[in-house]
Amino acid sequence: MTNVLSLDIGGTHFRSGLFDQKGLRLFTLEGNTLRSGGRDWMLKQIAEQCHTLLQKSESPVKACGVSFGGPVDFESQLVRSMHTPGWENFAMAQWMTETLGLPCRVDNDSNCGALGEYSFGAGRGIHTLVYITVSTGIGGGLILDGKVFRGKDSLAGEFGHMPMTDSHILCSCGAKGCLETFCSGPAIASRAQELAERRPEALGRMAELSSSPGSITANAVFQAAAEGDMAAIQIIDEAARWLARALLMIIRIVNPDKIVLGGGVTLAGDTFLNPLRRFLKEMGSPSIPYSTEVQLAELGQYSPLYGAAALACEFL
């Protein structure tokens, strides 16, 4: 029996794990990302966690996989992050090999999330899966006939940057009107903050859950909606409608066996999933029925970590 190391590097959290070759998670270490620390700070944390896990392993560790929360050129194994300075064109896999003496493979977090769910979660036993992470941003990964489909430029699955409308809202990618600007966590929080500026008296429970109108978070909106606050429910409905529209596009183009939803926003559970399913039904065409299932990730926040382990197991 051999083991592998797995890393999930995100803009808010980072995780490392020790897995056996069958995908069993043996140990996990986690931390909060210090954005101001930049790449060097993160690499130091990663190295320390990996060495700790290597010491814990009772079997030989033969490989490493990395899930990175940003664009990755899979063919060249370069991180091409457009969100955080210091990571541009960084040879992440090479650095891991030089640091740990292990072969390594890196992919973006959405592809890893798809691979994790396909290999060890909701996608077991099916052929075609689309994984969408709805969190600080929106990303996606596609498993077509059992293999990750990355596209010519490693850009397949960038659902968050599909232009949905001629909106003036600027996306993190530099374009306007992207899906991410309507239903990501920051987008939901932004809608509540806009309401606070226009009609502060309408905030209701959202205001009670926040220290100030300008500090309302997506979590506060979801909690208020779960408690029946109408303004919060309307904000969630708007986000769910936009995501439903995008999911119908994916179903029409790919028609996968399953669409699996992960990321922090989906932790709201039925508060988000119920309106999403309602809008999928309302917006669907009775003459073009589909059997694609839409469900939450079985592995929760650990889908990308499991996917990185699956990447590592390809070396075995």
Distance CA 33, CA 9 (A): 8
- pLDDT number for residue 136: 85
Looking up tokens 């306007």 gives: 176
- pLDDT number for residue 214: 78
- pLDDT number for residue 211: 83
- pLDDT number for residue 185: 93
With a cut of 70, which residues of the chain have pLDDT below it?
Answer: 82-83
Distance CA 114, CA 254 (A): 15
The CATH label, of 3.90.550.10, 1.10.3720.10, 1.20.1290.10, 3.30.420.40, for the domain at 126-297 is 3.30.420.40
185-198 helix and 218-226 helix, angle to the nearest 10 degrees: 80
pLDDT in tens, 99-152: 999 999 999 999 999 999 999 999 999 999 999 999 888 999 999 999 999 999
Using alpha carbons only, what angle is made at residue 199 by residues 194 and 205, rounded to the nearest 5 degrees? 85
Side chain identity at residue 127, one-letter code: H
As separate numbers, helices (DSSP H) first and strands (DSSP E) second, the chain gives 10, 12
Whether 267 contacts 232, CB under 8 Å: no
Q: Where are the domains of the chain?
A: 3-119+301-313, 126-297
The widest CA-to-CA distance across the chain, in whole angstroms, is: 62
Token output for 175: 């374009």
The CATH label, of 3.30.420.40, 2.30.110.10, 3.40.50.300, 3.20.20.70, for the domain at 3-119+301-313 is 3.30.420.40
- pLDDT number for residue 302: 96
**Equal CATH topology for 3-119+301-313 and 126-297:** yes
Q: If you count them, how many residues does the chain have?
A: 316
- pLDDT number for residue 86: 87
Helices (H), the chain: 38-56, 92-100, 109-120, 180-183, 185-198, 205-208, 218-226, 230-253, 270-283, 303-313
218-226 helix and 270-283 helix, angle to the nearest 10 degrees: 80
- pLDDT number for residue 172: 86
**Which residues, 6+ apart, have CB-to-CB distance to 147 below 8 Å?**
none
Whether 218 contacts 137, CB under 8 Å: no
Q: What is the pTM of this model?
A: 0.93
